[in-house]
């Protein structure tokens, strides 16, 4: 069984930065464990289809991200990890694609064959602050707008109210504080393995 700890949050919330820093610390502390750090979308081929498809069609996007995920998970199984730190996972599909108007139930069904994350760190931040952090050279053609990220953020918070494995972390704090908090949450989880 794959043990997946996912990092979620709107664009610019700090997922990639925090996941990398926490990963380095965990690797030193748990040197006997095979901890893998990875991110979605994973494959170059499907990523370029996603870029070409534009960001209007939630059905195509849901299916493309799910295909990417299926391929990604097969690759991960081969690495025999003890735990996987995943920069975005299923909840990204639910939050972003449902924000485009498609039923959450259908997105859940499309993703229902994939393992649920054992733990999810939701980096919560206002879209205003997140957009201030994002650099212009984003590799995606997705135009981050305050309004769309506001809907995505609300979807994430709704998910956190339903799913007990989602832990909300205030991502507006200093990078050091956020890393410290996320590290201690994951550290406590890893001690239980």
CB-based contacts of 70, cutoff 8 Å, min separation 6: 113, 114
Q: Pick what 14 binds: ligand TYD, ligand ADP, none; C-beta below 5 to 8 Å, kind-dependent.
A: ligand ADP
Interacting positions 104-133 with ligand ADP (CB under 6 A) = 133
Whether residue 13 is annotated as binding a ligand: the answer is: yes
For ligand ADP, which residue of 11, 40, 68, 124 counts as binding (CB under 6 A)?
11
Residue showing tokens 């610390």: 25
Measure the CA–CA gap between 133 and 118, rounded to whole angstroms: 29
CB-based contacts of 126, cutoff 8 Å, min separation 6: 153, 172
**In this structure, are residues 46 and 57 in contact, taking their beta carbons and an 8 Å threshold?**
no
Residue ranges that bind ligand TYD, judged by CB under 6 A: 11, 15-16, 40-41, 61, 65, 88, 92-93, 96-97, 139-140, 142
Measure the CA–CA gap between 105 and 102, rounded to whole angstroms: 9
Asked if 50 is part of the footprint of ligand ADP (rule: CB under 6 A), the reply reads: no
CB of 125 to ligand ADP, least distance (A): 8
Residue showing tokens 């050279």: 137
Q: Which residue's C-beta sits nearest to ligand TYD?
A: 96
Under the rule (CB under 6 A), what is the footprint of ligand ADP?
A: 9, 11-17, 133-134, 171, 174-175, 178
């Amino acid at each position: 069984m794959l043990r997946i700890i996912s990092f979620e949050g709107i664009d610019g919330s700090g997922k990639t930065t925090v996941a990398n820093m926490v990963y380095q610390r965990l690797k030193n502390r748990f040197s006997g464990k095979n901890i893998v750090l990875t991110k979605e979308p994973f494959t170059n081929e499907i990523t370029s289809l996603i870029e070409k498809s534009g960001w209007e069609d939630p059905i195509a996007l849901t299916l493309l991200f799910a295909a990417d995920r299926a391929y990604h998970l097969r690759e991960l199984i081969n690495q025999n990890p003890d735990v996987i730190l995943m920069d975005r996972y299923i909840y990204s599909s639910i939050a972003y694609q449902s924000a485009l108007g498609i039923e959450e139930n259908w997105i859940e069904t499309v993703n229902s064959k994939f393992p649920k994350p054992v733990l999810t760190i939701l980096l919560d931040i206002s879209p205003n602050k997140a957009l201030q952090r994002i650099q212009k050279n984003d590799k995606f053609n997705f135009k981050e707008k305050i309004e769309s990220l506001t809907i995505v953020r609300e979807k994430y918070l709704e998910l956190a109210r339903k799913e007990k494995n989602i832990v909300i972390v205030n991502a507006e704090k200093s990078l050091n504080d956020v890393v410290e908090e996320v590290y201690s949450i994951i550290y406590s989880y890893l001690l239980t393995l």
